[in-house]
Chain A
Amino acid sequence: AQKITQTQPGMFVQEKEAVTLDCTYDTSDPSYGLFWYKQPSSGEMIFLIYQGSYDQQNATEGRYSLNFQKARKSANLVISASQLGDSAMYFCAMGSVNNFNKFYFGSGTKLNVKP
């Protein structure tokens, strides 16, 4: 069975500083994809970044990067130069890349960026 664990219910970061949001996962599937989504208070889930299980390099998308440690089964999201607009819920998700039938989501981390 697949499972995503996010152990930080809430995080604070000072504007312009970097922050790391933790995500660990468990799966017996050898091929999988890891996704991070942002959910502002408006409710819509916004895709941020993707890491495939066989990718040799960590994914980067603008200010977002993914610290992927396959042996530890962790896929932490790093946000550099935090902005006030980054305040939101952040969800880590995993899907099987053999069929992409569903995503498994963690319980999320609420990020608050302080001015």
Chain B
Amino acid sequence: DTGVSQDPRHKITKRGQNVTFRCDPISEHNRLYWYRQTLGQGPEFLTYFQNEAQLEKSRLLSDRFSAERPKGSFSTLEIQRTEQGDSAMYLCASSLVRGFGAGVRNEQFFGPGTRLTVL
């Protein structure tokens, strides 16, 4: 399977603990995105990388959140001092952005997500 993979699929933690999620994008893709999805809502953008550079962060990404993409391959999302409000599905997506303009599709391919439950 050469799709986007995420690990772990499920994580249960206690409030105040730190957690780290991993995303492995499709190998030739140059962009990697993190989204958060709460129950009954669509995904919300958190941050994205162009190769190893983190180019944009949403204001949803508080100081307790940090994301990295060393060497432009896999990415990690760490949440420090978790709170119950952090409980959500964390989705990773990747894309191969070849160009810009409305004629270029540049769809994002999503992984299965990591479901975080903070007790």
The contact of A50 among B43, B45, B107, B111, by CB within 8 Å, is: B107
Q: Is A91's CB under 8 angstroms from B42's CB?
A: yes
The answer to whether B112 touches A55 (Cβ under 8 A) is no
Contact in complex: B101, A97 (CB < 8 Å): yes
Do residues A91 and B43 form an inter-chain contact, with CB atoms below 8 A? yes
**A95, B108: Cα distance in complex, Å:** 10
Q: Report the nearest B residue to A97, measured CB to CB.
A: B102
Minimum Cβ distance to chain B for residue A83 (Å): 22
> Measured between alpha carbons, how far is A98 from B111 in the docked complex, in Å?
24
Nearest-Cβ distance from residue A61 to partner chain B, whole angstroms = 11
Q: Are A54 and B42 interface neighbours, CB within 8 A? A: no
Q: Which single residue of chain A is at the shortest CB-CB distance from B9?
A: A43
Stretch at the interface among B63-71, B75-83, B92-100: B92-100
Complex alpha-carbon distance, A99 and B99, angstroms: 9
Q: How large is the interface on B (under 10, 10 to 19, 20 to 34, 35 or more residues)?
A: 20 to 34
Return chain A residues, CB-CB under 8 Å to B102: 31-33, 52-55, 97
A72 is an interface residue with CB less than 8 A from chain B: no
The reply to whether B93 and A45 form a contact with Cβ atoms under 8 Å apart is: yes
The interface residues of chain A lying within 8 Å CB-to-CB of B89 are 43
- Segment touching B, from A11-19, A73-81, A100-108: A100-108
Whether the Cβ atoms of A33 and B41 lie closer than 8 Å is no
Contact with A along B26-37 (1 / 0, CB 8 A): 000001010100
B110 within 8 Å of A (CB atoms)? yes
Q: Which of B37-69 contact A (CB under 8 A)?
A: 40-45, 48, 55-56, 58
B79–chain A nearest beta-carbon distance, Å: 19
A102 in complex: contacting residue of B48, B107, B112, B113, CB < 8 Å: B48
Closest-by-CB residue of B relative to A96 is: B100
The residues of A with any CB-CB pair to B shorter than 8 Å are: 4, 31-33, 35, 37, 42-47, 50, 52-55, 91, 93, 95, 97-108
Taking A95-B106, A102-B33 as known contacts, 19 extra A-B pairs with beta carbons closer than 8 A to each other, sorted by chain A number, are A31-B101, A33-B102, A43-B112, A43-B115, A44-B112, A45-B91, A52-B104, A55-B102, A91-B42, A91-B43, A97-B100, A97-B106, A98-B100, A100-B95, A102-B56, A103-B35, A107-B40, A108-B40, A108-B42
